[in-house]
Amino acid sequence: MNGIEKLICGWHLTEDDFMEILSEKDNPQTAVFLAKKAVQARKTFYGTKVFIRGLIEFTNYCKNNCYYCGIRCGNKNAVRYRLTKEEILSCCQEGYRLGFRTFVLQGGEDPFYTDERMEDIIRGIKAKYPDCALTLSLGERSYESYRLFRQAGADRYLLRHETADDGHYRQLHPENMSLGRRKQCLYDLKELGYQVGAGMMVGSPGQTKKTLAQDLAFLQELQPQMVGIGPFIPHHDTPFAHQMAGSVDLTLYLLSVVRLLLPRVLLPATTALGTLDPIGREKGLAAGANVVMPNLSPAKNRENYALYDNKLCTGEESAQCRDDIERRIALAGYEMVTERGDYFSGQQAVAVPAQESLTD
């Protein structure tokens, strides 16, 4: 069996298999075939539902200096802000009114938010919105911090591994950061019972077919419940200002591959994809994605959470973003739902006609 056949049948794949799958990327027939299989797989577990997550970018202070990221500490032009607990809760209030039942707190690695402050914020949100899921995305912390946050009520954690190749990791990050440490965080989070999200940018400088094959092999090993995959987009105030953006087509191809590799995965059609292509997120849904993450951050802070240039939705109100997304999802033939949208861990898949089985 070749790599593509093994992927479709749910076999364990080697790095060579992934290399073979990636080599097929420019064969349009393969891309169409994998997207069709990916959409079938996602329908098996989630039907036509698309889950929405309200993204609250609560701080753009960061102690790290990742070469690709616009809010790196070395960017002296970034206008920094932090949200208070009250501001965060008011984003949640607006989000709840708009139908969001998952809130994602994302930020730079900001030491101002000590364990005590984070615990207080997490407990505040969970006390007011017990029916909502809370996702954190605040980078690397100790096992003990992750344990405290989990105990305080956090349900999920997003921490992209960025690249699973040591040499490539070095090309993207300064020396004080390490892939080993990042992977350890992901394993810690899993052990603590979080629904965990890993992932990578597509087309980051230095990325090759080989490093992408390593990324896919790592995802297969980790078995995350969520995977964030979006194209790299340069930011003008970073060392990568003049690098090329990642490819939309390769991103879509990888979304299909990841859907087939981890059929129940919660897979966002990312804002970065929508930034590079006006209908990028719709294309993401057609490639196997089933999540979108509209922005709930206060309008006055939006433009300052600039990870990359020309980010979508920076000038809009939360309600506008949400309505726009709902319309787009419906036009793409899917249904935006307002449930928590947890990882599918039940036995019973949504019924699909026999001829749509995974192996036909």
Q: How far is the CB of 4 from ligand SAH (least distance, A)?
A: 27
Phi, psi of 50 (to 5 degrees): -120, 125
Q: Report how many residues bind ligand SAH under the rule CB under 6 A.
A: 19
Cα separation, 57 vs 159, in Å, equals: 15
Q: How far is the CB of 47 from ligand SAH (least distance, A)?
A: 28
Q: Using the rule CB under 6 A, give the single segment among 146-154, 159-167, 278-286, 313-321 that binds ligand SAH.
A: 159-167
248 binds ligand SAH (CB under 6 A): no
> Is 340 exposed, middle or buried (CB count within 10 Å of its CB: 0-12, 13-18, 19+)?
middle
3-state helix, strand, coil in the chain (%, to 5): 45, 15, 45
Pairing of strands 49-52, 335-337: parallel
3-state SS assignment for residue 39: helix
Instruction: Report the DSSP beta bridge partners of residue 104.
Output: 55, 135
201 binds ligand SAH (CB under 6 A): yes
Cα separation, 146 vs 94, in Å, equals: 27
Q: How far is the CB of 202 from ligand SAH (least distance, A)?
A: 9
Give the single-character DSSP code of 162: B
Window 81-120: contact mask with ligand SAH (x via CB under 6 A)? -------------------------x-xx-----------
- Whether the Cβ atoms of residue 194 and residue 233 lie closer than 8 Å to each other: no
**Cβ distance to ligand SAH smaller for residue 44 or 275:** 275
Q: How far is the CB of 279 from ligand SAH (least distance, A)?
A: 19
Q: How far is the CB of 240 from ligand SAH (least distance, A)?
A: 7
272 binds ligand SAH (CB under 6 A): yes
**Contact residues for ligand SAH, defined by CB under 6 A:** 68-69, 106, 108-109, 137-139, 159-160, 162, 201, 230, 232-233, 235, 272, 307-308
